Structure 1
Amino acid sequence: MVAKYLFTVKSTFNSVKQSSKYASVVIRKHSVWTQDRVIKSPYKDIEIPNLTLYDYVWQNLDRWPERTASVCAETGRGYTFEQAFNLSNRFAANLRTKFKIRDGDTVAVMLPNIPDYSLVSLGILAAGGVITSINPIYTAHEVQRQLKMSEAKAIVTLPEVVPVIKESLKIAKISIPIIVVKINGNPAPEGTVLFNELSEDIHTDNSVLKEVRRSVNDICFLPYSSGTTGLPKGVELSHRNIIANCEQINDPINAMHNETTASHQDSVMGVLPFFHIYAATVLMFHKLSIGAKLVALAKFQPETFLKTIEKQKTNIMMVAPPLILLMGSHPAATEKTFEHVQLVCNGAAPLAASDVERFLHRTKRDIDFRQGYGLTETSPTVAISPRRSKRYEATGPPVGSTELRIVDGDLKNLGPNETGEILIRGPQVMRGYRDNPQANKEAFTADGWFRTGDLAVADEEGIVSIADRLKELIKVKGFQVPPAELESLLREHPSVSDAAVIGVPHQSKGETPRAFVVLKNGHKCTEKQLSEFVNEKVAAYKHVDDITFIDSVPKSAAGKILRRVLRDQYC
């Protein structure tokens, strides 16, 4: 399933604009539409370095070894770039020697946003491994599924999450090492290994890392994107995919950073979860590659969040709509709170203009406000509006080296100002879904275009606006909730014959799941009983608390649930 990201950017970036590194970037003067009705990027094609993601992130380490790479927003615990490099390398060497991780092996990361997240991730890459990220609030049922699908050889987590991991391994009937990151004085759980000991062992022989043989086309990151017609699918992203996306957003007109110099280092708010592709690429990997400081906020609390913005002199923020709403309305959010903020990137879902204006009024700053569009399958950035754009409803043209098509139901190209499904081709597009040839056949056209399932319209200048989505993923506070997963769980209840789930508007969540349930003949069950049955098996944001009992679920002749009919009849 396409995991869509709409984001908003506001910025004042003089240092990037003046950087000679980007002097050669130009915007095409001719039309971005070809005669065949393909939209070409107006920006110069990117050059993709022949590096692994690990080498890409560290390639300029000698320019800022003593700068802070990552720091905990609450405790101040953190690492310099030099420390992060050394610690991640020792961890990598121990992954190969003590846990026999080999090139292409998958290692799961189930952590909140802590300073060690990037060290763990880069260590896995240095060992030749593949990262699969897991939401740290997942239940054992959800975790075991991803561990099995990804064939993870080890998992890294926090001590307090170990009981969930052990239960998931029991359900999956597998046994893999559990590595824990200890961030306080509590003892490590029995049967686990400390990440801290693996990374801080100065006697580690790093020469074993010379055995690693990974190329730019090898898979390095395996996030799972939720589907509406089945279980989540593993999105295979290569080193080249993610590096290409980093280079695409280095364009000075699209850039979301300042150059790191002797007198300046960006302070980037890490509140969006690193296990999501948007935060992983645009926030973590990219910002570390340009020498920015990553401020990790593990647990969201409004007052802590707002104080951190001011205390850390945050100038770059990646957030979701609920945070924008909070920053525009919370009593503790003042002009001083946002004194140093230069850029705010709103991810996961669009915002109403009134919500944006309310927030901007709080900041009292003359800044740009932009939108962009991306997906898990595209690493994620596809399109972003240029600096100082005032077209708040639009996402902008495609980034460098990217082509788009707007097509009708027969996949025939449409022209300017015509609404259709958006198709993408570019170096950031995933290799494919892991072990899922049917999904790949549905996702790609015969000539290699990726089908997003999203409806869009583009004007004469190639400026894209997302109109709607063909697929029915529910977005709860920016998190993906696949209806099929909840429907499957509802049907597991002994009293349920059939079920359908749709997303309905919610004042604070954006959307929330609403279930329609058909009971078996002669069975009785309450809404509360069904809610408890489902909710104990899924993360809190997937909870179903709104259930309607109906006689039958409307379906097409092919058996597909007609969710629009449910909306028309009940919403």
Structure 2
Amino acid sequence: MRSQMLSLVNSTYAHFLRSQSRLSGRAFSRSITTKSKTRGPASPLYRVSIGIRRHQSEGVICTRRTLELETEGHVIESEFPDVPLPQSPLTPVVFEEVAKWGHKTATECGYTGRSYTYSQLVDGIMRWGGMLQRRAGDRANPGTVAILAPNCPEYPIVFFGSIGVGATVTTVNSAYTPEIARHLDDSGANLLVVEAVMEPLAEAALKVLKREVPVVVNGPSANARPNLREIIADSNTPFADFVDVVPLDRVAALPYSSGTTGKPKGVSLTHSAVANNISMYHNAHTINTEKAEGDHQEVLMGLLPFFHIYGMCVIMTSGLTRGAKIVTLPKFEPQMYANVLKKHKVSVLHTVPPLLQFVAASPAVSPQDLSHVHTVMCGAAPVPPAAAMALKEKVSQPIFFQEGFGMTETLCTHMTPKGEEKLGYCGKLVPHTKAKIVDLEKGTPLPPGAEGELCVHSPALMAGYHNNRQATQECFDEDGWFHTGDVAVCDNDGYFSIVDRIKELIKVKGLQVSPSELEDILLRHPGVADVGITGVDDERAGEVPRAFVVRRNKDLREKDLHAFLGSRVAPHKQLAGGIRFVEELPKNPTGKLLRRQLKKMADGE
């Protein structure tokens, strides 16, 4: 049986590999020149040549000198050797080694147990792509497919099947109900795939949109629409025909920024950018998810939403590339989360700070539930070191706690190296990545230890904001550096720490106060379950911090927190704006605090 399944994978996946063979012998080279504002004209020290050639029999060969930490001009380059960058569209890159683990489970629903092996996943991808090609007016560019669904086993089938035939996939955040119509309109989606329970949301959005968009439903439709599961299971649905190579500069994914500090913007991520970043992320110095081999297979929790860049790239795309089993959960329920941890023996656990705090502190998750976890990764927001320490103390076995940093616009740029934990820091630069910290006012590069705006340069940056040239121009400078809008600091060892968003800093009498710093300190109080800090207007100071606190018990009082904070921070960082106790904080589906809404709460008083 196993050999038959592997044969199926080999025969169906030959379509993917055939498209790659057209690139045999094609060379790719790019020169990157950066210019430090402190040094004037461009310097040869920053001129880098990359040479990559694909040979059908040898794979990818990369010739490039190993870069060392660069300090002149305060530009920092990754200390890790460069890795080969793929010269194929994303779908073939992800499933290049799928024949090795075709019989293993690729995705499984944590609630229903509905699952797909890797061979079945590839089969579904091929049939979904074939369906898109049949309905497309232009087979070389089938348009934009929108996915409105929680995490489910079929999500990667639609995602990789669509981009595999040249379509762009735009992932819709189902939590922002009023934004769905605007998202569909701005992205230009010409096909919508929706989870059955969300079909009413799609109906409402399409009425606002006022244009026809065909809909495919993942499951039985209340309106007799096509059923995704029937399409990908129907042997009469022809496989996709990968005769023409998808251009590497074609936009593969169009996720939208989270909108925590402004309206969501479409982020254009090309095949080249995402494929490059997966290779950069999988470098031997930071990746701790081993490839499937023999009886070994890593198990990942697919809770963090696939429509968000963390879930899309770090969990779904990376996990499938490594042959991992991904157990999907459409929503967070404490008991179900704990059950999946234990039943499926999750080995690599991806978290965000609120989820990390839950795992570390909640009795719903026992040390036994975490007994198979060897790596815990946390990102999407600054990580409270106290929560990380609490988790490590909770379990009996050694756990590698790995922090990372990335954005929808930059993908993954920083990771904690294996065996080099440094809590409170988001790690070091991944291969092919450069960074600098610049003065918030002057824009000049700063030395290690100084706080300023983080700027990055890599071959995995977005192509730009969709339909928003002005916003694109505002975040890229003339030398191609992307300005992240994050205040950061880099130490002498090359570790970076994210302090806060520039727009979120509170200015008290001209002095900058970081909300994240105050939040981390307050979270160490045993009576605080969660906290959010925002600035409120003040006649004398201009602005002062106010705390919105979720209590662990009702006995906690304002004066307790004022006393706790009093000796730990400078006078201008005290909570002069007061403390408000609330039942919950406004957050997006990845657990990121929605500071705009927090600010509205403060202004509305």
TM range (shorter): 0.7 to 0.9
**Residue identity in the other structure for 1:51:** S
Aligned match for 2:418, one of 382, 387, 396: 387
What is the SS of the residue equivalent to 2:437? Answer: strand
Q: How far off is 1:101 after superposition? A: 6.8
Alignment-derived partner of residue 5 in structure 2: none
Aligned match for 1:298, one of 308, 330, 334: 330
Residue 397 of structure 1 contacts residue 464 of structure 1 at CA under 8 Å; is this kept in 2?
yes
Aligned match for 2:143, one of 69, 81, 105: 105
Distance in 2 separating the partners of 1:226 and 1:329: 27
Alignment-derived partner of residue 49 in structure 1: 86
Alignment-derived partner of residue 133 in structure 1: 171
Deviations 1:148-190 (A, max 9, x none): 00000111111221111111111111110111111xxxx4221
Q: How far off is 1:34 after superposition? A: 3.4
| Residue 345, structure 1, aligned to residue 382, structure 2 | no
Q: How far off is 1:472 after superposition? A: 3.8
Q: How far off is 1:390 after superposition? A: 3.6
Distance in 2 separating the partners of 1:549 and 1:413: 36
Residue 107 of structure 1 contacts residue 129 of structure 1 at CA under 8 Å; is this kept in 2?
yes
Distance in 2 separating the partners of 1:124 and 1:281: 16
Alignment-derived partner of residue 430 in structure 2: 399
Residue 79 of structure 2 contacts residue 431 of structure 2 at CA under 8 Å; is this kept in 1?
yes
Deviations 1:223-274 (A, max 9, x none): 0114577531110001111111111121222103012111201111111111
Alignment-derived partner of residue 236 in structure 2: 203
| Residue 157, structure 1, aligned to residue 202, structure 2 | no
Alignment-derived partner of residue 160 in structure 2: 122
Deviations 1:453-511 (A, max 9, x none): 111111222221112211349999xxxx9x9xxxxxxxxxxxxxxxx9x99654389xx
Residue 381 of structure 2 contacts residue 592 of structure 2 at CA under 8 Å; is this kept in 1?
no
Check 1:27–1:253 CA distance in 2 against 1; reply closer, same or farther (3 A cut). farther
Q: How far off is 1:191 after superposition? A: 5.0
Aligned match for 2:473, one of 441, 445, 453: 441
Q: How far off is 1:549 after superposition? A: 6.1
Check 1:117–1:40 CA distance in 2 against 1; reply closer, same or farther (3 A cut). same
**Residue identity in the other structure for 1:180:** V
For structure 2, the 5+ residue unaligned runs are 1-58, 506-514, 520-531, 535-542, 553-585
What is the SS of the residue equivalent to 2:358? Answer: helix
Q: How far off is 1:373 after superposition? A: 1.2
What is the SS of the residue equivalent to 1:36? Answer: helix
Summarize the alignment of residues 315-334 of structure 1 with structure 2, pairs less than 5 Å apart: 315-334=347-366
Residue 78 of structure 2 contacts residue 431 of structure 2 at CA under 8 Å; is this kept in 1?
yes
Summarize the alignment of residues 67-86 of structure 1 with structure 2, pairs less than 5 Å apart: 67-86=104-123
What RMSD in Å do the two structures reach over aligned CA positions?
3.2
| Same amino acid, percent of matched pairs | 31
Residue 322 of structure 1 contacts residue 508 of structure 1 at CA under 8 Å; is this kept in 2?
no
Compare 196-205 and 47-56 and name the one that shifted more: 196-205
Q: How far off is 1:324 after superposition? A: 1.6
Distance in 2 separating the partners of 1:305 and 1:391: 28
| Residue 507, structure 1, aligned to residue 539, structure 2 | no
Q: How far off is 1:332 after superposition? A: 3.0
| Residue 358, structure 1, aligned to residue 390, structure 2 | yes
Alignment-derived partner of residue 247 in structure 1: 279
Q: How far off is 1:335 after superposition? A: 1.9
TM-score by length of 1: 0.77
Deviations 1:398-430 (A, max 9, x none): 110000011112221111111111100001111
Distance in 1 separating the partners of 2:392 and 2:478: 45
Higher relative contact order (CA closer than 8 Å, sequence separation 6+): 1
Summarize the alignment of residues 52-63 of structure 1 with structure 2, pairs less than 5 Å apart: 52-63=89-100
Distance in 2 separating the partners of 1:351 and 1:47: 31
Aligned match for 2:485, one of 453, 460, 465: 453
Q: How far off is 1:211 after superposition? A: 5.0
Q: How far off is 1:396 after superposition? A: 2.0
**Residue identity in the other structure for 1:193:** P
TM-score by length of 2: 0.73
What is the SS of the residue equivalent to 1:371? Answer: strand
**Residue identity in the other structure for 1:190:** N
Number of matched pairs: 473
Q: How far off is 1:369 after superposition? A: 2.3
Check 1:456–1:101 CA distance in 2 against 1; reply closer, same or farther (3 A cut). same
Distance in 2 separating the partners of 1:25 and 1:43: 15
For structure 1, the 5+ residue unaligned runs are 1-20, 484-499, 510-533, 551-569
| Residue 168, structure 1, aligned to residue 205, structure 2 | yes
What is the SS of the residue equivalent to 2:190? Answer: strand
Residue 68 of structure 1 contacts residue 80 of structure 1 at CA under 8 Å; is this kept in 2?
yes
Residue 27 of structure 1 contacts residue 43 of structure 1 at CA under 8 Å; is this kept in 2?
no
Aligned match for 1:142, one of 179, 183, 190: 179
Q: How far off is 1:27 after superposition? A: 12
Q: How far off is 1:46 after superposition? A: 2.1
Residue 33 of structure 1 contacts residue 460 of structure 1 at CA under 8 Å; is this kept in 2?
no
Compare 284-293 and 229-238 and name the one that shifted more: 229-238
Compare 406-415 and 106-115 and name the one that shifted more: 406-415
**Residue identity in the other structure for 1:394:** Y
Summarize the alignment of residues 204-223 of structure 1 with structure 2, pairs less than 5 Å apart: 204-206=237-239, 209-223=241-255
Residue 54 of structure 1 contacts residue 126 of structure 1 at CA under 8 Å; is this kept in 2?
yes
Residue 70 of structure 1 contacts residue 296 of structure 1 at CA under 8 Å; is this kept in 2?
yes
